[in-house]
């Protein structure tokens, strides 16, 4: 009989730790999504000649008489696009991990319910 409280405790702990990991995952997803949106916004701004979000580059182009050269603008555009395409799969992976956490949590809660029901049955059976 002492084994059941230990099992219930383990299952409850797993549920709690998965909750915490899921919260961390959600924060990471939010941060990655926010950064992807920034990349897309920066791409638009660079195409319009606005470099304010890049402090050092902005200062450099303000001090030079020529401003940003087309080749550099193209390099920046390509780099921002590449960053976007590289980061997007990480966001997709975090979404898949989140779904896995939720699935595992459901299984753990089902296990808790089943264990509690089984424990009640054993107690009733022993009282007879």
Query: Does 121 score more than 80 pLDDT?
Result: no
DSSP string, 75-103: HHHHHHHHHHHHHHHHHHHHHHHHHHHHH
Q: pLDDT of 19-64, one tens digit each?
A: 888 888 888 888 888 998 999 999 999 988 888 999 998 888 887 7
Q: Measure the CA–CA gap between 81 and 51, rounded to whole angstroms.
A: 16
Assess if residue 127 is contained within a domain: no
Go through 20-50 and write b for each residue having 16 or more CB atoms within 10 A of its CB, e for each that does not.
ebbeebeeebeebeeebeebeebbeebeeee
Q: Is residue 10 part of a domain?
A: yes
Quote the number of domains for the chain. Answer: 1
Q: Does any domain span residue 128?
A: no
Q: Residue 107 belongs to what domain range?
A: 3-122
Checking if the pLDDT of 1 tops 60, the result is no
**24: in domain:** yes
User: pTM for the complete prediction?
Assistant: 0.61
Q: Of residues 101 and 28, which shows the higher confidence score?
A: 28
């Amino acid at each position: 009989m002492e084994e059941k409280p230990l099992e219930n405790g383990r299952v409850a702990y797993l549920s709690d730790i998965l909750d915490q990991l899921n919260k961390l995952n959600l924060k990471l997803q939010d941060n990655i999504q926010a950064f992807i949106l920034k990349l897309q916004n920066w791409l638009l701004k660079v195409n319009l000649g606005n470099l304010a979000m890049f402090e050092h580059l902005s200062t450099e182009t303000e001090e030079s008489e020529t401003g940003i050269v087309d080749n550099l603008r193209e390099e920046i555009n390509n780099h921002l696009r590449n960053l976007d395409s590289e980061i997007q799969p990480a966001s997709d992976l975090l979404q898949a991990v989140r779904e896995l956490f939720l699935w595992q949590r459901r299984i753990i809660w089902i296990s808790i319910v089943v264990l509690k029901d089984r424990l009640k049955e054993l107690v009733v059976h022993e009282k007879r």
